[in-house]
Structures are given as C-alpha cells and as structure tokens.
Amino acid sequence: MNILDLFRQQPMEQRAMDASVFDLGLDSDGKTATGKSVDAGSAITASAVYSCISLIADSVATMPIHSFRKTGDFREKVPPPSWMDATNSMPNPETDRFSFIHRTISSLALYGNSYWLITDRDNLGFPKQVYNLHPDYVKIERKDGYICYTYDGKNLYKKYSSLTPDGEVIHIKNFEQGSDYGLSPIEAGAEAIGISLASEEFAGKFFSNGAVMSGVIEMDSTPSEEALRVLKQSFNRKHQGSKKAHNIGILTENAKWKPISINHQQMQFLETRKFNKIEVCGLFRVPPYLIGDLSETTKLGSSIEEQNRVFYELTLLPYINRIEQAMTMMLPRGQFARIDVSGLLRASISQRYNAYNLGRNAGFLSVNEIRAKEDLPPLDEEIGNTYLQNLNQTSIEDSDTDSGPTAEQ
C-alpha cells in the first residue's frame, strides 16, 4: 500500500505550475552536444558521477546525529525523537536512518531537491514518522501565494517550516537558483557529464570492435561482394572482441593483413577521460584522489588528516548544514540537531585538544569554558570555573590562600 494512502484529506484546488525553471540551454529532447541525453538516471551510470555521489552520501549517512538544548552558554544533550534515534527507532517502518540520510543526499546531488513527508505526529504535534519522496514524482504548485507539493499526481501537501508547522512536506534544496526548485550538479554540468558518458561508450565500443579498429585486409584481386561479406563475417567471428584478441589468423588468396597503428595519446582519448573525471569532481567539489585519480599529487594537504578536513569543509559541510537545519525545524523550540563529524576529523580533535590544553595551562581558559566549546555540560563551579597559574599549574584561589602564611613567616 502506498504511504500516501494513509492520509485522507480533501484535495486542495490545483492549478498549472508557475515556478521558474533554470534554463540549461539543452535541446528540446534534453540531449547535449555529444548527442547524449543527461538526466539523473543516465548520469549515475558515469563512473565518476557514481563515485562522487556515493562518497558524499556514504560519508554523511555514517555519521551519528544528536539533539541538543540550549541552556545559557552551554548545550545540553537531550534524547532524540523517534525519527532521529538510530538505536531504538527508525524514521519510518520501511527505512532505517542510514538509508534515510543516504537517500536525502543522493536526491540533492542527483536532482537538486530532497523531499521529506511527515506521516505521523506525537501528542504535542511534532513529527514522529518521516518518509523520503522521490523527486521525479513531486511537482511544486502555488495556491494563494503559498507553496504546495503534489506527489504522484494525487494529494496536495503544504510546506512544513518553523512558521508553518502544520505543513507536511520539508523541502531541501541543493543550489538555490531563485526558483521553487533547486539546481543539481547534474543539470549544471550536463555537457561535462555528457562527454563522460560518450567517452565511456567510445571506450567500450573500441574494445568490442577491436578487429575493425586495428587494421585492414588487402587483396590483389577484386572479389565479389558475397565473397567479401563471407570473409568479413568469418574474420570478425574469429577475432572480434577483447576475449578473442591475439588469436592466430589465416588468410588465403594472397590476402594481406595491414595493421593500422592508433595512438591513444595522439587521439587525446586518455587525456579527455582524465580531464573529464576532474571536471565531474569539480561539479561535486570532490577532490579527485578520493575517487581513485592518483595521477597528480594533491595540493589540499600534506597529510590524511588535513585532506579529510578539506573534504569536510568544502564538500560535506554544505550538505550537513542543510540536513541539520531541516531536522532542527522538526524539533521543539530551543532544541537543535547536530551531525557528529568527529569520526572524520579525529586528528583535528587532537589539535583542538592541544589548543585547549595550551589555553588551560596559560590560565585564560577554565574547564567549563572548554566544555562549552565541546557541547558538554558544565562541572561544579568550584572545579569548572577555576583557572591555573602558568608556573606550577595550581588553582589561583589555592595559591592566594597558601601565600598568606608564607608571607608571615
């Protein structure tokens, strides 16, 4: 049964969609200059596109998610709602949290939009059960100035936000282009992805038709058309394809095999594929070495830790912030969601703790000030609000107490 069948509501009046659509400069049939039609379904078949999207989606989906409450200058960890709790619950009966986040990131990267449908609420009216909606089946309409969403041409749903908590659909955009729809890297880089698809098809056909590309057969006589057809079929049957390469061939009637040397370097075929992979990585802001392109030394960091930090800041952080904001809207006022990236930035944590240690030993950071920066609850004032001296690392208060008797002596 479709999840939308769970809801019975009076459909709102529908009208033609008036949202502006980004002009991609493509032909009416959606084909690029290479003759390839580029959409989400075809783009994912390009190895570089699949590698980039799976890397981003897997990286974010594996990170823990926590909910916090702001208390003064400190943040207090609170129990997550059922749709966020990966240990004891799931976003919905059909999807675990990993798959839910993975689908969200994949939709953003492939379609430029991700949609969540709220199907159940708790006693206080907060979301309790959430589903992913496939962007292909979602249409955006406007009624009386408000955005509404039609799924699979059936029910019409209102947009959910902190200002309209009675809505049902949470809409997350990838690239904001000033319209009701977000822009995806697939749309923006359709030509680059079209070249990638065309080059991969060319490579496949080159190896499947190896005999045709490797040389020609010269004959002294002029055979009939039927004899040429039989010779061609026989030769292809014995030698065409990568599995039949280097088989021994036999030619009769003074026929000669004349090989044709084809240099891929001269054809710039290898360079084209290499450049295209880098171009696709640029669309998704993924460092090429992360998807297996080790042809050049990266200049983004001298260590794995620094490279992970760059990958987090330039690639993952925008996706993470979008998801955190969407989740925060679904929480009670004063609470917010945070995706824990500490597993990716282990070395950065070490560097941060060293900085805390320096500030603590220098006497300008207290334990509670450090714990506030790490989203940890404060300790007792007697312990948490004390500062250390730079010389012997004792509490300033204790030092003042001990200095009295010493002065009298």
pTM of the predicted model over 0.75: no
Same domain, 329 and 349: no
Position 359 pLDDT exceeds 60: yes
Same domain, 318 and 370: no
- pLDDT, tens only, 31-86: 777 777 788 888 888 888 999 999 999 999 999 999 999 887 778 889 999 898 88
Q: How many CB atoms lie within 10 A of CB 314?
A: 13
Q: Indicate the residue among 304, 333, 362 that finishes a domain.
A: 333
Look at residue 155 and tell me if it is in a domain. Answer: yes
Average pLDDT over residues 164-176: 93
Same domain, 181 and 48: yes
Of residues 297 and 160, the one with the higher pLDDT is 160
Same domain, 320 and 397: no
Look at residue 23 and tell me if it is in a domain. Answer: yes
Same domain, 280 and 399: no
Q: Residue 295: which residues within 8 A CB-CB, separation 6 or more?
A: 274
Position 373 pLDDT exceeds 70: yes
Same domain, 308 and 395: no
Q: Indicate the residue among 279, 303, 333 that finishes a domain.
A: 333
Same domain, 268 and 404: no
Same domain, 322 and 385: no
Q: Indicate the residue among 333, 361, 392 that finishes a domain.
A: 333
- Percent of the chain scored above 90 by pLDDT? 30
Look at residue 281 and tell me if it is in a domain. Answer: yes
Same domain, 59 and 184: yes
What is the reported pLDDT for 345? 73
Position 217 pLDDT exceeds 80: no
Look at residue 380 and tell me if it is in a domain. Answer: yes
Same domain, 289 and 392: no
Give the 3-state DSSP-derived string for the chain, with helices as H, strands as E and coil as C: CCHHHHCCCCCCCCCCCCCCCCCCCCCCCCECCCCCECCHHHHCCCHHHHHHHHHHHHHHHCCCEEEEEEECCEEEEECCCCCCCCCCCCCECCECHHHHHHHHHHHHHHHCEEEEEEEEECCCCCEEEEEEECHHHEEEEEECCEEEEEECCCCEEEECCCCCCCCCEEEEECEECCCCCEECHHHHCHHHHHHHHHHHHHHHHHHHCHHHHHEEEECCCCCCHHHHHHHHHHHHHHHCCHHHCCCCCCCCCCCEEEECCCCHHHHCHHHHHHHHHHHHHHHHCCCHHHHCCCCCCCCCCCCHHHHHHHHHHHHHHHHHHHHHHHHHHCCCCCEEEEECCCCCCHHHHHHHHHHHHHHHHHCCCCHHHHHHHCCCCCCCHHHHCCCECCCCCCEHHHHHHHHHHHHHC
Look at residue 241 and tell me if it is in a domain. Answer: no
Look at residue 214 and tell me if it is in a domain. Answer: no
Domain that holds residue 312: 1-209+263-333
What is the reported pLDDT for 406? 47
User: Could you give the CA distance from residue 12 to residue 199 in angstroms, rounded to a whole number?
Assistant: 48
Look at residue 391 and tell me if it is in a domain. Answer: yes
User: Could you give the CA distance from residue 263 to residue 93 in angstroms, rounded to a whole number?
Assistant: 56
Q: Count how many domains the chain has.
A: 2
Average pLDDT over residues 190-202: 82
Same domain, 14 and 93: yes
Same domain, 188 and 76: yes
Look at residue 150 and tell me if it is in a domain. Answer: yes
